[in-house]
Structure 1
């Protein structure tokens, strides 16, 4: 297995800037997951502030956060299955990078949602690839070299395979953690668990630290021994939301369409609000 968490000590609770400085390096593959809510904006903004470059960004549904990171020159490649400003339109910084190489060329690797999810599961399971039917009948295999046909050795059925995703770093946001680094999250959970378990290093930002995690129906607990660092970041998912703690800032998503559309407006906004 590529995972390094087995047999490792419990996660340590450290300030966000310290966690990013230690865990995220130039040239790393970085998965920042969160579906609809619990999107790790605070951590992404810290990566931008620390000036990381040449990152391979992985995310099932890149939205405004990756638009910001791409526009600030952090990314060399994007591995994804859908990209856009949810309910609004395009990601203009993403589009500008692909079409015009601004501020730097961006390589893309496009998959289906099922392909990315299964690739994370394979990575978390210590397997070299995932097998699925979902690409049959689509033109994605013609455009994505990392989608390959494979024949079932038992039935002869032709399927498709995608390589496991084992990010150098996985970054997710959650509602709370205890002092030993055990993390609890609930709501729409997406593939956060799989991304953390597949990664070589991991950072979880949380709304709050508590002395003890109270049982909650439907909640997922990521054990501290599977996580590298936990950082407290109240409001760390804004403008998305954290179920039970905050609501979605819909006005920001609408405003971003104009902010991100123009290069100079974008850079000025990032300097004033993030840097």
Structure 2
């Protein structure tokens, strides 16, 4: 059963050293940067990061020395190109050696679905002819097809638009592999823009992302996705990604960025206080049509 708690409490209780953590599951939007920064502040080590495209979050966690292994389709800084901390770790072992398990966006989805369905693998022909198969124990070529081995996160961290205290969540927009990751994971931590009454969530049950029995913590964390965007709430903070790209080109520059935006910032509220938020807020409303669930 989920509990409403602070992000620091959720990370301390449910994300130990060595955990396999799925993050950035919606690709470019809704990336749980606040949770990633809390992992850094609590000095988590030997994490296994799982995801399709995490924008610069994986790069930040790698540069901070939190990560031993990455299972992902891509690591970098979407609008700016390379993830410099990731590159240093792979090429020169700085801050230490990083194990990388490559996937495509589709195969990481299959790997998570296999875990969700308690299957050892799901076969696909889509990786045939690529070099992703090289040295991948979890990707096995058998009888002209690729068996994509199950990937089961210990914890999946998702940022959503709204959730209730019971662990039911609504999210919308691009979902990427969010549902796959949540169903595959042993437990789910939700950070949310709005903490609402159960009646709000239950008014639209088809939008509930994952069974509440999976959710161990609900964190009311407005702006928890920034600098990534969130439909209905936040625009992408392009300036933050540009600044990070420029500073992280060197280990020394990354250290300066890390101190200013993570280590010297005690929580997400303090992070938001450093920003000019009005230009980042969504102001144009584009509402969907209501759904009628009546049946009598």
Q: By the TM > 0.5 criterion, same fold? A: yes
Shift of 1:201: 1.8
- What SS is found at the alignment partner of 1:81? strand
- Structure 1: how far apart are the matches of 2:180 and 2:200? 21
> What do residues 214-268 of structure 1 show as CA deviations (whole Å, max 9, x unaligned)?
5569844323212111111100000001111111111212222111111111112
- What SS is found at the alignment partner of 1:51? coil
- Structure 2: how far apart are the matches of 1:252 and 1:273? 10
- What SS is found at the alignment partner of 2:209? strand
* Residues 23, 202 of structure 1: 8 Å contact kept: no
Shift of 1:84: 1.9
Alignment of 1:236-275 (within 5 A): 236-275=224-263
* Residues 39, 173 of structure 1: 8 Å contact kept: yes
* Residues 11, 35 of structure 2: 8 Å contact kept: yes
Which stretch has the larger CA shift, 209-218 or 12-21?
209-218
**TM-score, normalising length from structure 1?**
0.90
Q: Identify the residue that residue 114 of structure 2 maps to in structure 1.
A: 122
Aligned length: 260
> What do residues 148-192 of structure 1 show as CA deviations (whole Å, max 9, x unaligned)?
0123xxxxxx21012111111111111110122211100001111
- Structure 2: how far apart are the matches of 1:107 and 1:168? 18
Q: Identify the residue that residue 7 of structure 2 maps to in structure 1.
A: 16
Q: Identify the residue that residue 202 of structure 1 maps to in structure 2.
A: 188
Could you list the structure 1 runs, at least 4 aligned residues long, displaced by more than 6 angstroms after superposition.
none
**For residues 29 and 265 of structure 1, do their structure 2 counterparts lie closer, same or farther at Cα, with a shift above 3 Å needed?**
same
* Residues 34, 173 of structure 1: 8 Å contact kept: no
- What SS is found at the alignment partner of 1:268? helix
Shift of 1:204: 1.0
* Residues 11, 229 of structure 1: 8 Å contact kept: yes
Match of 1:83 among 75, 81, 88: 75
* Residues 182, 188 of structure 2: 8 Å contact kept: yes
Shift of 1:100: 1.1
Q: Identify the residue that residue 269 of structure 2 maps to in structure 1.
A: none
- What SS is found at the alignment partner of 1:221? coil
After superposition, the CA RMSD in angstroms is 1.6
Match of 1:174 among 160, 173, 186: 160
> What do residues 84-119 of structure 1 show as CA deviations (whole Å, max 9, x unaligned)?
211221000000111111111111110111110001
Which stretch has the larger CA shift, 92-101 or 244-253?
244-253
> What do residues 107-157 of structure 1 show as CA deviations (whole Å, max 9, x unaligned)?
111011111000111111111112111111212212423210123xxxxxx
Q: Which structure is richer in relative contact order (CA contacts within 8 A, separation 6 or more)?
A: 1
- Structure 2: how far apart are the matches of 1:50 and 1:19? 11
Alignment of 1:71-110 (within 5 A): 71-110=63-102
Match of 1:36 among 28, 38, 43: 28
Q: Identify the residue that residue 284 of structure 2 maps to in structure 1.
A: none
